[in-house]
Structure 1
């Protein structure tokens, strides 16, 4: 009788679709760093102009709108290939032979596919950080790429010379070695690998802003097929581009590689 009861109980469990032996534990989360709202000085993103000439974006006091957690390290090749195996991500354009390297050769569209896959797996909301969130996370490792000189209608050569100096410095500083995740640097918040050979996608659309002589905004528009990538300097890249050196609206020295990290929204 006891054997029959066990069989009956097993059949009932199967009928309910339950199995104590096939329980799938939630996936392990990557190391995360908590970001809490706090004001900081930030050079705004975007293409800023005055009287039809480019100028440096202004510095403003900003804050992230809500607490989030950001990946302490970029998404790795190993992480990405798990998504590929699951059929949710395409193979990257960068190398795949070392699981410990940050994934490269991924577009903004690719990065969002990975975020959707992570959200489905964990039940949390994962997404690309905004430009302000990324800058907050970069902390003291964020690089201000302003030229330090505004457009002078009477002497545009001043800005041309400044642009030449900045672009020359960027070429000298350009790091082309893709190091294993967590090996480049770490900042005061515990965020790794900021500003090396891998630029990181953000969720922030390129915006174009026209201001008058007092700095008052006259016109502003967003181009949401082009997104900000952060790294050694800011770049504006078309969402489907995987290899920034091939073009895609990057101004000046293009990023060496495109990768990303995600934020997890607070539950």
Structure 2
């Protein structure tokens, strides 16, 4: 099932990286604009892990595990802006995004996972540093108290499937009601205890974490799991699983849950 996605992803990223390698502008001396960075130190925290999970063959909420980032990193305090994205477009590496392009202080939206990956490679080449998308755990660490637990809290009833269906419908209806579609200038939405801004709101953010599907036992321990790369986790008001070439989730490509309003991203810098 994932083979066409993997082929399409590899082709799209390869084209972007070829453009990067061959771009005279990308070898310029002026450094790109970089947002303020927030340092994150490894520290264990309780986290409802990502993925689509079953127990005894029935859908369940993902289990809560103790997790921690693997090493210290820095994460952008705000998402990548339209102006910063357009600098990559001007270098003829990135392509013009599908969102509004006349207001440089808005977060860039209308970008796919492949687009974000190419931008990270461009920024790495231009700065000599290693930039990449955050993992789901890194993003959750950065979101801190603004991270939203999207558990439904209702177990599947093998004798009455409607119990879970009705709970899922109620949860999705509430999400639609809370959906914020106003894209505000970067840094203006909110700020958490770590100094990270613009968590949630109208922009979902790509992560590097592939959608995984698995089975857990009665204690929440993972019995088996498999990644579905080609579909990646986007974080925001709730988690969403999105095909990597999708720029407008409202047009399709959301594999789980209510589609995000907009797709953007922020990057981490490895130390």
Question: Is TM > 0.5 for Structure 1 vs Structure 2?
Answer: yes
The total of aligned residue pairs comes to 244
Q: Structure 1 stretch 66-75 or stretch 250-259: which is displaced more?
A: 250-259
Runs (4+) of structure 1 exceeding 6 A deviation are none
Q: Is residue 195 from structure 1 mapped to residue 200 from structure 2 by the alignment?
A: yes
Q: Is residue 126 from structure 1 mapped to residue 131 from structure 2 by the alignment?
A: yes
1:251 to 253, 256, 260: 256
Bigger Cα Rg: 1
Residues in 1 aligned to 2:35 and 2:185: alpha-carbon distance in whole angstroms:
15
State the 1:151 CA deviation.
Answer: 1.4
Question: Which residue is 1:39 aligned to?
Answer: 44
TM-superposition CA deviations, 1:84-133 (whole Å, max 9, x none): 00011010011101101000000000000000010001100000000000
Question: Structure 1, unaligned stretches of length 5 or more?
Answer: 1-22
Question: Which residue is 1:5 aligned to?
Answer: none
Tell me: CA distance 1:213–1:39, structure 2 relative to 1, closer, same or farther (3 Å): closer
1:217 to 217, 222, 225: 222
Residues in 2 aligned to 1:216 and 1:24: alpha-carbon distance in whole angstroms:
51
- What SS does the aligned partner of 1:49 have? strand
2:88 to 83, 88, 95: 83
1:52 to 35, 41, 57: 57
In the superposition, the TM-score normalised over structure 2's length comes to 0.87
In the superposition, the TM-score normalised over structure 1's length comes to 0.88
State the 1:155 CA deviation.
Answer: 2.8
Question: Which residue is 1:168 aligned to?
Answer: 173
Residues in 1 aligned to 2:81 and 2:145: alpha-carbon distance in whole angstroms:
23
State the 1:213 CA deviation.
Answer: 3.9
TM-superposition CA deviations, 1:43-63 (whole Å, max 9, x none): 000000122221000001110
State the 1:26 CA deviation.
Answer: 4.4
State the 1:246 CA deviation.
Answer: 1.1
CA RMSD of aligned residues (A): 1.4
